[in-house]
A and B are shown apart, each in its own frame.
Chain A
Amino acid sequence: MPLIKIRDLHFYRGNRAIFEGVNIDIYQGKITAIMGPSGTGKTTLLRLIGGQLRPDRGTIEVDGQNVHKLSHSDLYALRKRMGMLFQSGALLTDLTVFDNVAFPLREHTKLPESMIHDLVLMKLQSVGLRNARDLMPSELSGGMARRVALARAVTLDPMMIMYDEPFTGQDPISMGTLVNLIHRMNDAMDLTSVIVSHDVAETAEIADYIYLLSAGKVIEKGSPVQLKRSSSQWVQQFMQGLPDGPVPFHYPGDTLEDDLFSQKVST
C-alpha cells in the first residue's frame, strides 16, 4: 500500500500537456526521486500532490485520501502532515530564522512559548543552524536558507516531505550537506521523501527508487542501479549527461547545409 498513489494523471497548462497518463507509487519510509529534464513539470507534480493545483484527469491519493476531493479544512489538515521544501526556501522575509521555524508551531498549536523555544532549537540543531537563529533570511546563503526551510518543514513532524530541486545552484559543500541531511532526516524520523531534481549524481546517491519523466510520461522507473543499466538510449543520455543523443544538441529545423545554401542563393 503506497503512501502516495498517482493514477492516470493528466494536466494541461493552456493547450500544452504537462502530464499525459502518469502513474506513480511512492512507498512509506523510502526516498523516491522524480527526475527529468527542465520543463517536464516536476514542480507542478509536487503542487498537484499538495493540492495547490487540480489535475484535469486522474487521481492523486495521499495516505488513502483523494487530495482533490477533500474539503478546504480536510485539505489543510492533510497539509499539516506534509512538509515541503521550496527551491527558494520560501522563508518569510520579515521574520528571523527562529520565528520562521516557530511559525508552523505558533499557527497550529497552542504550546507555551518556552516549549516552542526548545522545539525550535532542537530542529535548528538538527540542521546545524542553532546559532544562526537571530539572523534574518536575507543574511543567509542559499544553502543555509534551504536548511532553515528544512527545519521548518519538519517542525510539525510530518509523515512525508517533498523537496523541490534541493540541490540546484549549491556549491559542493552545501550540496553534500543537503544530501546528507535529507538522507539522515528520512531515516531518523521515519519520513517518506519525494525529491524532484535533475541533479543525477546526488539524487541517485540517496534515492531508493527513481521515476524518469519526459514529455508528460514516465519513461523509466527503477532503482538507481537498474536505471544505470537501462537499455534505453534516452535514459543513458540523461543519466550520464551526454550532450548529444536521442535529445539532439541542435534545435530541430533545417540542416546547416540547407541554411548556408539558401543564404547564398538569396544574396
Chain B
Amino acid sequence: MIDAIRSLGRWGLSVFERLGRGHLFLFDTLKGVPELFLRFSLVTQQLFSVGVLSVFLILISGLFVGMVLGLQGYNTLVDFGAEESLGVMVSLSLVRELGPVVCALLFAGRAGSALTAEIGLMKSTEQLSGMEMMAVDPMRRVIAPRFLAGFISMPLLAALFSAVGIFGGFLVGHGLLGVDDGAFWSQMQVKTDWYDDVLNGVIKSIVFGFVVTWIALFEGYDATPTSEGVGRATTRTVVHSAFAILGLDFMLTALMFGEE
C-alpha cells in the first residue's frame, strides 16, 4: 500500500519534472527563433524536410477524406432532400474540424516522428554535444529552425488538406452523384464564413503545429541516448501529439464555436 502511494508520488513528480523541462525547453527554443530571420536558409532546409516531404501524404489523404465526406454526406442529406447542401457540409466539416485535426495527426505521424528520431539520433551520436563543444548552441542551430519550420508548415498543410478535400467532395458529389455544381459552390459560399469558419480553422492548425513540433523536438532532445530510447521517444511523440491535438481541439472548438 505504502509502496503504491510512493510509486504514485514518484510518478507524479516525474510528470511535473518533465513538464517543467518541456517548458524550459520551449523557452530556450523561442529565444533562438528571432535570429533565424538573419539566417533563413537554415529554416528553408527544414521547411523542405518537414513541410515539402509531407505534402504528398497530406494531398492524398485530403482528397480521400473529402471524397468520403461527399459520399457519406450525400447519403444522409438525400433523405431530407437537402443534397444541395452537400457543399456546405463538406466545406464546414473540413475547414472547421477535419482539416486541422486530421492534418495535424498525419503531420505528427509523418514529420513529428521524423523530427524526434532525427534529434534523438543526433543526441545519441554525440552530434549535439559535439556542436556545444564547437561553441555552436544546438538549441539555436538545430532546434529553433526545425521549430519554426514546423510552425510555418502546419497551417499551410492544413489549408492544402482542406482545399483538396473540398475538391474531392466536389468530385464525388458532382461527378459521381450528380449534385448541381452551382448549388454546391453557392450554398457553400453563403454558409461558410471567413472569420468564424476558415480563420478559426487556420488558428487551430497554427496551434496544433506549434504543439506537435514542440512535443516532437522535446521528445527527441530529452530521449535516452540509445537506439531503444530513441524508438520509445518516437512512439511517445505520436501518442502525446494525438492526445494534445484532440484535447486542444475540444477546447478550441468550445472557445470558438461554443457561443453560437
Contacts and interface: CB of A to CB of B under 8 A. Distances in A.
**Direct chain A–B contact by Cβ atoms under 8 Å:** yes
B135 A90 contact: no
Ranked nearest first, the 6 interchain pairs of A and B with the lowest CB-CB distance are A90-B130, A79-B135, A90-B126, A84-B133, A80-B135, A76-B135
Given A88-B125, A90-B125, A93-B125, A108 B135 contact: yes
B132 A79 contact: yes
B129 A77 contact: no
B135 A86 contact: no
A52 interface: yes
A103 B132 CA distance: 13
B127 A92 contact: yes
Contacts of A77: 135
Interface string A55-87: 000000000000000000000110110111011
A107 interface: yes
Given A76-B135, A79-B135, A90-B125, A107 B141 contact: yes
Q: Bin chain A's interface residue count.
A: 20 to 34
Of listed B122, B130, B136, B141, residue having the most chain A CB within 10 A:
B130
Contacts of B176: none
B249 interface: no
A92 B127 CA distance: 6
Interface in B16-41: none
A103 B127 contact: no
Interface string B117-151: 00001100111011111111100010000000000
15 contacts: A47-B129, A50-B132, A52-B129, A79-B134, A79-B135, A82-B133, A84-B130, A86-B129, A88-B126, A91-B130, A103-B134, A103-B136, A104-B134, A108-B136, A152-B134
A220 B171 CA distance: 81
A57 to B, nearest CB: 23
Interface string A107-123: 11000000000000000
Given A90-B126, A90-B127, A93-B125, A50 B141 contact: no
Contacts of A83: 133
A88 B122 CA distance: 12
A90 B137 contact: no
Contacts of B121: 93
A50 B132 CA distance: 9
Contacts of A79: 132-135
A104 to B, nearest CB: 5
Given A88-B125, A90-B130, A92-B127, 11 more contacts: A52-B129, A76-B137, A77-B135, A80-B134, A84-B133, A86-B129, A103-B134, A104-B136, A107-B141, A152-B134, A156-B134
Interface in A110-149: 149
Nearest to A72: B137
Contacts of B130: 84, 86, 90-92, 149
Nearest to B133: A84
Contacts of A82: 133
A149 B130 CA distance: 10
Contacts of B136: 103-104, 107-108
A56 B118 CA distance: 32
A86 B126 contact: yes
Nearest to A47: B129
Contacts of A108: 135-136
A47 B132 CA distance: 10
Contacts of A104: 134-136
Contacts of A52: 129, 132-133
Interface in A135-175: 149, 152, 156
A104 B133 CA distance: 10
B51 to A, nearest CB: 17
Contacts of B132: 50, 52, 79
